[in-house]
Amino acid sequence: MSRLMRQPFFIFITILAADQISKYWVRAELVLFEVRELIPGLFNLVYFTNTGAAFGLLAGDNTIGRRLFFVGVTLLALLLIFILYRQVRDQGRLPLLALTLIAAGAVGNLIDRVIFGAVTDFLDFYWRGYHWPAFNVADSAITVGVVLFLVASWRQRPVPPT
């Protein structure tokens, strides 16, 4: 395996492991809907499940059709990430890191959907009465990856027209 591929592979495995281990711990230690206050007024550990997309969009009954839809969308996204990865592999480390984070997060949430039918969320940040929707390590990796990819795209020099 080339050096260019080893580092993203290590990052992918590390993020995926952190995601799955943290979700396993939450499912083992907390009861569904349990809240444990860690930093009063700012941060809780919670145990929620999400059958929908980000922020609970399209959440509803956990039907086989809904599960297949989200699995299919995730697999298409992973195919797109693979294609983009091949296109940007010579453009530096930032776009490769970004796509690696997005892929690791997508696979982490895909594992939850396939095995449990819903994604385990447990990080709950809030301020006064406002709670950000609960999320997990995979969601964080996807978000950071998207931001990094946008930064990498913005920093990329435009190709002059031919």
Catalytic position from the list 19, 112, 121, 124: 121
Q: How many CB atoms lie within 10 A of CB 54?
A: 14
4 CB-near residues (< 8 Å, 6+ apart): 89, 96
Q: Is 112 annotated in the active site?
A: no
The three-state secondary structure class of 38 is: strand
Q: Are 118 and 112 in contact (CB under 8 A)?
A: yes
Q: Are 143 and 137 in contact (CB under 8 A)?
A: no
Q: Are 21 and 111 in contact (CB under 8 A)?
A: no
The DSSP element (H or E) to which 131 belongs, if any, is strand 130-131
Distances in whole angstroms, Cα of residue 8 to Cα of each of 4, 149, 155: 7, 14, 20
Q: Is 90 annotated in the active site?
A: no
Residues labelled catalytic:
121, 139
